[in-house]
Each structure stands twice: as structure tokens, then as C-alpha cells.
Amino acid sequence: MSMPPRQIAFIAEEFTLSGPAQQILDRLLMGVAEEGEFRHWEGSQIVLHLPPPSTVDPRLLVPRRERGLRVAVSLEEALRGTDAAVVVGRGTGETPNAELVGRVIQGIAPGGACFVHGLLARTGREARELSAAAAARRVRLLAGTPVGTTWRLPDVAFPRHARAGDGLIVVQGATPQALLRGLDGLLPFMDQRAERIAGAPTLQAFQGEEVWRAGRENRWPEWLLAPALSRSDNPQGDPVLDGRTQDLVGLGLVPRLARDPRVWVATHPDGARTAVAALDGVTADITLAVGLLEGVRAFSFRMEAPPFSLRRDPVGKVLTVVLSTQLLMAPAPREEHYGPFVSSVRRFLSGLGSWPVGRGVEMAELYEAMLAAPVNVPASATVRPQHP
């Protein structure tokens, strides 16, 4: 399918002002800014359905009906004649409804496309089952949030010939939301791992003072914390009080600023580590850093190139090229980061490309395993997610 879908079924379990469903639906109806101009999409009828017990203030639908929105009473009505669907669950994407997504996959036309906002499923098993069901009906299936598609500051692409080693992302918020944001933001940079050795990763989690002890023992890639935080333009502490600039890591301020620090780390069979650090009170931005392995000589690297720096790997004791950037999350109520996200969703529904399909399954597997990982246990006590 390389043309805009004839009809898009928009299935929302929750529809509130400034919520994900409203942000996504309005941009599908009215268009978004792309490459310096506002683009409105033509040719697709959008049908909204809110499964019971979901409700919406009818007044919210009046201006959207004027934009051509049609409302369906039942899921079957919404999916009738549909070759594309968008499913938005409750919250910010951390509470998926695999049963609903399965019904959508079975209801849209074979060869169509289904996009799920947030996690594809609560567990890796459910995500794999949905992926298999979609493949059986030739339905393209994708999942994600705006964190994975937003603007990067600086704007950087992963070097084509390089490979990812350790990766660390710094986020904020309560555990479910923070972990989802972290995985969705970091996994696009971890797709190019050095080797995709089969097998499940080992999982560790740390909280409180144990975070810093584990970092000193290199049980999570703390060596990437400084380059990650260097991309923040909203450091907390003294910069908020009087505007001074500070090296938060170099001055040892991070442990003092962090409120309830939490770190989840997955060590893959190839040795690469994917780590999410929830450090409330340290920065108000989402920032990340990834160490690059072999292949760095295959691209033109200059020390003054903004996205890259040199850091000493604490394991190999060698200088490693590090890519670092900020993932821009714009403030409410406009939340402009939904713009590139909806553009990506639209391209996917039109058959014009997307990120790897397997990322949604991997994110669900890691999310489940990281939440289940024992906290602050000895290095020998690790958890592996179970696969059939």
C-alpha cells in the first residue's frame, strides 16, 4: 500500500483535552508542519470509535465533525471497509489493551496497517502473539510514542557504518511512564548493535543510594552519564536559582540532586547494555548517550562535530566515540513533538516506511522484564525474560 488509506479507524479508549488521543486525532484531521510548511492530508476518511466504558463530551466532537470526522457506535462499524487503524489506550501508552488490538487486527482488511500508541502489549508473550496474528493476515503492525520520533538536539543520525555498544537515557517521572519513555527514546539508537546474538538479556535494577554504588562498580553504564547530561539545557539545582552553568557530574552534584533515583539495565548476549535512568531533580530534559564500537573510522569524524565526543570506556580502558543528544519534548498545551510523530504514523499507514517492526515486540519484552527485575540485588542475582 503506497497511497493514503481510504479510511482510518481511530480507536481511543480515552479522549481528553491535551491527551494523546486528542493530540494525534487533531493532527490527522488538520495536518502538521513539515519541512517548513503546513501540510494537510487529503483522501482519508477518519472514523472515531470509543469502546465502552469510554465516554467523551459531545461538545469536543463538534469542531472535529466539521473537519470530516465520523463517529462509529461499534468497533465493527468503525472497522468496516477500513484498511488502516490507530489504537490509543489509556494514559500515556503504558497501559496497552492487547485484546482490543487483536480485535482490530482481525477486523481491518488484509494487507492493511495498524498503529498502536505506546506499548504494543503488557508482556512480551502478548506482543509476539499480536505480531504473529498480524503477519498471518498480512497486516503491518507498529507501536511507539512521540519520544522515539521527536526532534534531536543536536540533530544527529546514527552513523551508518558504526555499531552501538552501551546506551544510556536519562528520563523523569513515575516508573511506568519513565521506563516507557526511556525505552522508546533509546531503542532507535540501539538497533545497530554490534552483534545480534540470539538469547535473552540479563536484567538488573537499582534504586536509591545503590544506584551510585552500582555505577562505581560499572553495573550500569554510568560512564555515559556526563555526555548524556551535557545535552540538557534545563539542568536543575543552582542553574535554576541563579542561572550559573555547572558540570553536574564533574562536581559530584547528581547524587545530591536526584530524588528517588532508579536505573534499569539490560545486558544483551552481545555485551551491549541498554540502560534507563530515572533521575528526577537532575534535569528537566530527556537526554541520551551511546558508545560506538567498530566502524567509527568508516565515517568522517571530527573532534568539533557537535553530536560526538571521546570518552574512556571503563571496561576496555580505551577511548570510545560517544554520540549524545537531547530528545525535545515541547511543553503543554501545544506539545509540538506530536507533529513529527503523527507524520511518521501517517507515512506508515500509507506504506511509505517506518522504523523496524520488531522494535515494538522488543520494547514490550524489555519493559516487562525491567519491571520484574529484583531491585538492589548482588551482581549474581539477575533476571532473564522468559521466551517460548
Q: Find the range with the poorest average confidence among 125-129, 149-153, 202-206, 318-322.
A: 318-322
Give the domain ranges of the chain.
7-148+335-355, 152-328+367-372
pLDDT, one tens digit per residue, over 343-356 is: 999 999 999 888 88
Of 61-65, 193-197, 217-221, 277-281, least confident by mean pLDDT is: 193-197
Q: Is the pLDDT of residue 215 over 80?
A: yes
Which secondary structure element, helix H or strand E, spans residue 317, and what is its range? none
Average pLDDT over residues 112-121: 97
3-class DSSP assignment, residue 343 = helix
Neighbours of 140 (CB within 10 A): 18
Task: With a cut of 70, say whether residue 32 has pLDDT above it.
Answer: yes
Q: CB–CB of 272/163 below 8 Å?
A: no
- Going by C-alpha positions, the residue among 268, 280, 274, 266 that lies closest to residue 169 is 274
pLDDT surpassing 70 at residue 301: no
Amino acid (1-letter code) at residue 379: A
The mean pLDDT of 34-46, rounded to a whole number, is 85
Can you tell me the mean pLDDT for 227-242?
Answer: 88
Confidence of residue 304 (pLDDT cuts 50, 70, 90): very low
Mean pLDDT of 248-275: 92
Number of Cβ within 10 Å of residue 334's Cβ equals 11
Q: pLDDT at residue 160 above 70?
A: yes
Pick the CATH number of 7-148+335-355 from 3.40.50.720, 3.30.70.20, 3.40.50.300, 2.60.40.1840: 3.40.50.720
Query: What rounded mean pLDDT belongs to the chain?
Result: 88
With cut-offs at 50, 70 and 90, classify the pLDDT of residue 198: low
Out of 94-108, 184-198, 306-320, give the one with best mean pLDDT: 94-108
Average pLDDT (130-153) is 96
Distance CA 223, CA 330 (A): 28
Which pLDDT score, from 0 to 100, does residue 363 have?
96
CB 114 within 8 A of CB 105: yes
**Residue among 117, 104, 179 at smallest CA distance from 143:** 117
> By percentage, how much of the chain surpasses pLDDT 70?
89
